[in-house]
Amino acid sequence: MELSAIYQPIRSQLLAFERQLVSELAGKDIVRASLMGEMTRHVARMTGKRVRPALAFLGADIVADANRKAGKKIPIGWQDDVVKLATSVEMIHTATLLHDDVIDGATLRRNLTTLNAKWGDTLSVLSGDYLYSKAFCLLSELPSPSVLHRMSDTARLVCEGEVSQIQHQYDFNLNRESYLKIIEWKTASLMGAAAESGAWLAGASASDAKRLGVYGTSFGLAFQILDDLQDLVGDQEIQGKSLGTDLALGQMTLPLLYLRDSAPAAVKLQLTDWFNGNGSRTYSEALDQQKYLKKEALRAKVPAYCKKTANQYLAQARKALSPFPPSSYKKSLLALTDFLLQ
């Protein structure tokens, strides 16, 4: 199923989100005429799949629908609040991408030149900080302290995940558990927070909000595993971003971890040599290494292993939705789990 079809039940909400996002990034007159305005307009053109805003809307709508069917009250103005939430979530996510691109030295993001490649690392980092501040200004306008606390704690987790990932740079002996904790913090936590916070704004009970949080977090773990797989075996033109960065930066991901443990001794020795480096090799040399490992990864059936692992998390996500009554929103959330594996 195409993503546009999955998003059909929340189409009008996503349009409202896009308007709000453009408005926030445009800024006031003094910002529009400044370099900050030029950079944020560049960011606005870097549109992705909008998965995190979609999770916020679907998390809210599945709860609102269930509450209506149960004859329960729904908070006044909840839909406008979720638009603000979705906008803030996307700005936080984009801020992390700007910071990631600096760390990774990436030159391409969503088929556009990255900010760091266009304006340099310093301005890219400051633009990310600017988006963070804009996001929390919006979050402070929401009526739910639970949402503000959840999102604030999530921002902390994302930072801890990034720091932990850097701490384990060139750690050839990184284990599966440590890898999963890193991606839970830096990626899955924001997806879980988006779905759970949307549920809170629609008047969810604590148990229903938690279920949506489990869904988003489990979905996020699968999402990152499959994204890491593409970094090793994907096509840069199709993905629309720089690939091979995990190897270039000495980051042990699940695909590389499985290749390390299952490949022939000669491949493992070669991988060991590359990971014992100090990061001084050029990006071009790293891409040549990545091409070699892509071939070996396909031979070792790394994609099949990663997809199987991802599907285990997607099964947890689907299970979390089982208490909710049938609805178009539940159908979309379930369809998202299938979309990841296409």
pLDDT tens for 204-232 read: 999 999 999 999 999 999 999 999 999 88
Task: Indicate the range of 4-18, 48-62, 284-298 predicted with least confidence.
Answer: 284-298
In the chain the first and final C-alpha atoms are separated, in Å, by 9
Q: Quick check: 109 pLDDT over 80? A: no
Residue scoring higher pLDDT (243 or 154): 154
Q: Quick check: 23 pLDDT over 50? A: yes
Residue scoring higher pLDDT (67 or 250): 67
> Nearest Cα to 247, choosing from 310, 297, 209?
297
Q: What is the pLDDT of residue 106?
A: 67
Q: Quick check: 186 pLDDT over 50? A: yes
Report, as an integer, the average pLDDT of 157-175: 91
Going along the chain from its start, the domains and CATH numbers come out as 13-334 (1.10.600.10)
How far apart (Å, rounded) are the C-alpha atoms in residues 241 and 189?
22
**Percent of the chain, pLDDT > 90?**
61
Q: What is the pLDDT of residue 30?
A: 47
**For residues 275 and 305, is the Cβ–Cβ distance under 8 A?**
no
Tokens of 234: 């994907």
**What are the contacts of 268-276 at 24+ separation with CB within 8 A?**
271/172, 272/172, 274/247, 274/250, 275/170, 275/171, 275/172, 275/250, 276/170, 276/172
Residue scoring higher pLDDT (107 or 17): 17
Residue scoring higher pLDDT (126 or 193): 193
Task: Indicate the range of 93-102, 239-248, 307-316 predicted with least confidence.
Answer: 239-248
Q: What is the pLDDT of residue 35?
A: 67
Question: Across all residues in the chain, what is the average pLDDT?
Answer: 87
How far apart (Å, rounded) are the C-alpha atoms in residues 56 and 266?
47
- Identify the band that residue 99 occupies on the pLDDT scale cut at 50, 70 and 90: confident
- Identify the band that residue 289 occupies on the pLDDT scale cut at 50, 70 and 90: confident
Q: Quick check: 103 pLDDT over 80? A: no
> Nearest Cα to 339, choosing from 322, 319, 321, 318?
318
Q: Quick check: 146 pLDDT over 70? A: yes
Q: Quick check: 38 pLDDT over 80? A: no
Q: What is the pLDDT of residue 57?
A: 98
> Which phi and psi angles does 113 have, rounded to 5°?
-60, 135
Report, as an integer, the average pLDDT of 59-82: 96
Q: What is the pLDDT of residue 311?
A: 97
Q: What is the pLDDT of residue 166?
A: 87
3-class state of residue 34 by DSSP: coil
Count of all residues that appear for the chain in the document? 342
Element containing residue 151 per DSSP (H, E): helix 145-167
The conformational region for residue 191 under phi > 0 = left, psi -120 to 50 = alpha, else beta, is alpha
How far apart (Å, rounded) are the C-alpha atoms in residues 83 and 79?
6
Q: What is the pLDDT of residue 123?
A: 79
- Identify the band that residue 65 occupies on the pLDDT scale cut at 50, 70 and 90: very high
Q: What is the pLDDT of residue 27?
A: 63
Report, as an integer, the average pLDDT of 331-342: 94
DSSP states of 104-118 as a string?
A: HT--EETTEE-HHHH
